[in-house]
Amino acid sequence: MVMKGFDRITFDPDVMGGRACVRDTRVTASLILNLVASVRFTGFSPERWLMLKTTKAKQAVELLTPGRTIIGQLFTPLGGALADLFNQKDRPFLPLSDATLYLQQGGRRQPDPIGAVNFMVLRREHCLVALSGQPLPPALPGQTTLRQVFMLDDFLLEGSIAVPTGSRLSDVLGRTHTFFPVGQVKLYGGVRLPIDAQDRPLAAFASAVVNLVAVLAITEAVGGMVSPR
């Protein structure tokens, strides 16, 4: 028996970590039944696939690690924050799809990639910064927005953080999770301080998640805004 009307079957790699495609113009019913039986046998049912498709989203990120920059897509819960994903202590490895690897030094990645893979898992503790094009939500009432500079390894990251009004920054950071959200981010090479108007950023992003364990120091940005809410 041949089922007509199918010229391609594609399995999304959200969970399986790979892509299997049938590109023949004729797909037999027995092939479809065998594929369904196979994924059910492994515990990956169509119902679970549908649930994950409706609860997960891909977010494009640029990850800075010691000596490497990795550009790819992370699987994040719908409506969830990137910082929440990195702060899940029960998940030491994070799945990353469509990953392209570059050498980087001083926050500046080399133009030519050193590799590309469809899927990989990243040990989150080795991520210094996760850069994203998704903006952070605005500060809440009772919060103050501070413009700060984070010194990491051999590069600087300038960005805005929201803290409770009247709190000391050291106290806030001492009570927070390892990975901290930062908005309106600019990336600078080298470790020269202070950053002034003549310094041109290497790149700018809507937001970032910073690994506080990797931070050497934090200082207030020159002319940085302080806007209580």
User: Domain of 184: which CATH number?
Assistant: 2.30.30.100
pLDDT digits (tens, 9 = 90+) for 27-85: 444 544 444 444 344 444 444 444 545 456 788 999 999 999 999 999 877 666 899 89
Number of domains in the chain: 3
pLDDT digits (tens, 9 = 90+) for 177-205: 999 999 999 999 877 788 887 889 999 99
The answer on pLDDT for 136 being more than 70 is yes
Rounded Cα–Cα distance for residues 101 and 205 (Å): 19
Report the predicted TM-score, pTM, of the whole model to 2 decimal places: 0.72
Please give the DSSP secondary-structure letter assigned to residue 202.
S
Tell me, yes or no, whether 38 and 65 share the same domain.
no
Rounded Cα–Cα distance for residues 32 and 86 (Å): 37
Residue 169 lies in a domain: yes
The one-letter amino acid at 92: P
Q: What is the pLDDT of residue 168?
A: 87
The answer on pLDDT for 160 being more than 90 is yes
